[in-house]
Amino acid sequence: MRLTGSPPQHQPPGTRAAQGGGRSGASMSELYSKAETLELRRRHIGPSCKVFFAKDPIKIVRAQGQYMYDENGEKYLDCINNVAHVGHSHPDVIKAAVKQMELLNTNSRFLHDNLVQYAKRLTATLPEKLSICYFVNSGSEANDLALRLARQYRGHQDVITLDHAYHGHVSSLIDISPYKFNQLGKEGKKEFVHVAPSPDIYRGKYREDHPDPASAYADDVKKIIEEAEKNGRKIAAFIAESMQSCGGQIIPPAGYFQKVAEYVHKAGGIFIADEVQVGFGRVGKHFWGFQLQGKDFVPDIVTMGKPIGNGHPMSCVVTTREIAEAFGASGLEYFNTFGGNPVSCAIGLAVLDVIEKEDLQGNAIRVGNYLTELLNKQKEKHPLIGDVRGIGLFVGVDLVKDQQKRTPATAEAQHIIYKLKEQRILLSADGPHRNILKFKPPMCFTVEDAKLVVDQIDELLTALEEATGARTGNGRSSTAQHKRKALTTFSQWPDLKVGKTKAEEQQLLCRSSRCPIPGHQNINVEDRGLSIRLIRISNKNKRETAEKTKELSRRTLSLNNFYCCP
């Protein structure tokens, strides 16, 4: 099913707009063709700046609600954009921005009511002791400032972070983000950084069958602190996302943060809760993710970003008066040119108004519960789904090759998101193994949207499992079924003519080194741009070059993650 039509007018969440036809001004904001845009990007934008779906990126020209539109007027359901929190192009947010821009925009050295009004409204959503705001412009700026506050507080320098964590792109944050510095190898981790295990009860060190995973994971943090102190080091802060996003949609077990905070405070450090990706009501029941741990847990600093301005660049650090005064005692003034400007604060106020007026927290509960219910039904049906975890509109689906071994199904996850893109549904895959399907849609996401996405995932998983022989009627693989499916798989790539006979061509589709079919051979696909070279590997691992190299289209190239064997 493909989504088409013009953008819906803004509507309350939980309902779905009627779909119309036509481009409806799709090219209004276009200066260049897609090919020209790609060429100009290659020419002028840094190569390390990546785009979604790099093999065939989407050119988006406008968006509204939970939908985005490309240059051809094709309509995409946005399941990944946790920046457009209350919906793309929300009229109330636009109105607030335009109204204030017509009056004034300046830096925060002048008195202005928007700044203090927004600080008052924002801190009202937090525990009482979190009362002092520093407004900045991005999540990275917020987390960088949080580290400065923490280090100034007691003069300590070391930071404890979670494995697979991501906290931003500036140098100070890459230093404390294993998600990033692990890419640099052994030289990536600095001496002042200590990495604690991610509190993942599905794939981590202590799992769901552990009697007390919260205490076990917290005790690992305690051991890190004790070891650091033996070496003469002092802990400034423990920093964690309230729920790990890039780390794989990880929800810490209840009680974990309380115990960690106890150990960190005893060591003279403070607890930083990173709410950049998960805050502002996304979890539904609470406004902030850290509140899932219970009323007895209050962090010392909370950072926020992405959804705070619904796409407008703004962010904030909120802390206690004690920590703020210690920061000020350094004698070094803090100033941010654009942080807390009148336009940003007007937009922030409008976002808070929309969340309340449209009951988006309630919508997150209703739609999120429905989404996880549908996905859990798929888990019972599909052996490729190992785990479904989520709260509100923060949901992850852990794809596995083997439910018992929990082997990450990385290629399958990539296959799914590219096939969904073809159906005009935008979903991402992340986590340390890039096998977690991530749901972080705009908060106006509906039950109809949830059903549409899950139905498509169901179809794709079914096709994938049938093609790979991953399951029989009872969900278990069999050699006979695998062989039957393998002999029909070749039709999906009719232009790959490799081998002397049709049977050889069919067998060459299998890339698994553990194929259960006797004599079945394996393919290693080496990517050479758009040129794919097929290598035949015999049972004795003797490598022979296939008869010819085939130039493939981008569309065909995207299917090379498809496996014949599990």
507, pLDDT greater than 60: no
Backbone region of residue 284 per phi and psi (left: phi > 0; alpha: psi in -120 to 50; beta: other values): left
- Helices first, then strands: H and E counts in the chain: 16, 20
CATH, residue 388: 3.90.1150.10
Task: Work out the angle between the directed axes of helices 360-381 and 447-468 (0-180°, nearest 10).
Answer: 20
Closest CA to 429 of 443, 442, 418: 418
Residue 277 backbone phi and psi in degrees, to 5 = -100, -15
**Residue 336 falls inside a structural domain:** yes
Percent of the chain with pLDDT over 90: 71
Q: Is residue 383 part of a domain?
A: yes
Of 500, 474, 504, the C-alpha closest to 486 is 504
2 CB-near residues (< 8 Å, 6+ apart):
74, 423, 424
Contact between 179 and 239 under an 8 Å Cβ cutoff? The reply is: no
What local confidence, expressed as pLDDT, does residue 181 receive?
A: 83
C-alpha torsion 324→325→328→334, nearest 10? 20
The DSSP code sequence of 378-405 is HHHH-TTEEEEEEETTEEEEEEEEETTT
Residues 304, 399, single domain; the answer is no
Question: Left, alpha or beta for 446 (phi > 0: left; psi -120 to 50: alpha)?
Answer: beta
Strand partners, 391: 394
Q: How many domains does the chain have?
A: 3
Cα gap 356→360, rounded to integer Å: 7
Torsion of CA 168, 172, 174, 176, to 10 degrees: -100
Q: 347-361, 438-452, 529-543 — which is least confidently predicted?
A: 529-543
Last residue within a domain, chosen from 312, 333, 357: 357
Assess whether 175 and 255 both reside in one domain. yes
* Residue 98 included in any domain: yes
Torsion sign, CA atoms 181, 183, 186, 187: negative
Please report whether residue 83 resides in a domain: no
Mean pLDDT of 537-550: 33
- Of the chain, the percentage scoring pLDDT greater than 70 comes to 77
Residues 289 and 370 in one domain: no
- Confidence (pLDDT) at 332: 87
391 and 257 in a common domain: no
Helix (H) or strand (E) holding 132: strand 132-136
pLDDT reported for residue 59: 95
Residues 338 and 367 reside in one and the same domain? no
Does residue 439 fall inside a structural domain?
yes
Please say whether the beta carbons of 224 and 266 come within 8 A: no
Residue 140 scores a pLDDT above 80: yes
- Residue 503 falls within a domain, yes or no? yes
Q: Is 14 a member of any domain?
A: no
Are 190 and 239 members of one domain?
A: yes
Secondary structure element (H or E) that encloses residue 438, with its range: strand 436-439
How many CB atoms lie under 10 A from the CB of residue 70? 16
How far apart are the C-alpha atoms of 380 and 386, rounded to whole Å? Answer: 9
Phi-psi group of 309: left, alpha or beta (phi > 0 → left; psi -120 to 50 → alpha; rest → beta): alpha
Query: What pTM value is reported for the model?
Result: 0.80
**Chain mean pLDDT for the chain:** 83
**SS in 3 state form for 33-48?**
CHHHHHHHHHHHCCCC
| Per-residue confidence band for 182, with pLDDT thresholds at 50, 70 and 90 | confident
Question: Does 348 share its domain with 373?
Answer: no
Q: Which of 435, 468, 501 is the last residue of a domain?
A: 468
Quote the domain boundaries for residue 202.
91-357
Q: Are 315 and 222 part of one and the same domain?
A: yes
- The residues with which 298 forms a beta bridge, in sequence order, are none
Residues 324, 214 within the same domain: yes
One-letter identity of residue 259: K
Q: Which of the 8 DSSP states describes residue 550?
A: E
Tell me the residue length of the chain.
566
Judged against a pLDDT cut of 80, whether residue 34 lies above it is answered with yes
Q: Is residue 194 part of a domain?
A: yes
Give the CATH number of the domain where residue 114 resides. Answer: 3.40.640.10
Select the more confidently predicted residue: 461 or 481: 461
Other Cβ atoms within 10 Å of 46 Cβ, number: 7
Q: What is the DSSP letter of 428?
A: E
Identify whether residues 240 and 116 lie together within a single domain. yes
163-167, 187-191, 211-215, 394-398: which range is least confident on average? 187-191
- Give the whole-angstrom CA distance, residue 565 versus residue 245: 30
Query: pLDDT, tens digit, for every residue of 400-426?
Result: 999 999 999 999 999 999 999 999 999
Query: Which residues contact residue 85 at a Cβ distance below 8 angstroms, ignoring those fewer than 6 apart?
Result: 280, 282, 306, 307, 308, 310, 351, 355, 442, 443
Q: Are residues 195 and 222 in the same domain?
A: yes
Residue 162 backbone phi and psi in degrees, to 5: -95, 150
My answer on whether 201 and 98 are in the same domain is yes
Among residues 426, 453, 468, which one ends one of the domains?
A: 468
Q: Indicate whether 477 pLDDT > 80.
A: no
Q: Is 425 helix (H, G, I), strand (E, B) or coil?
A: strand
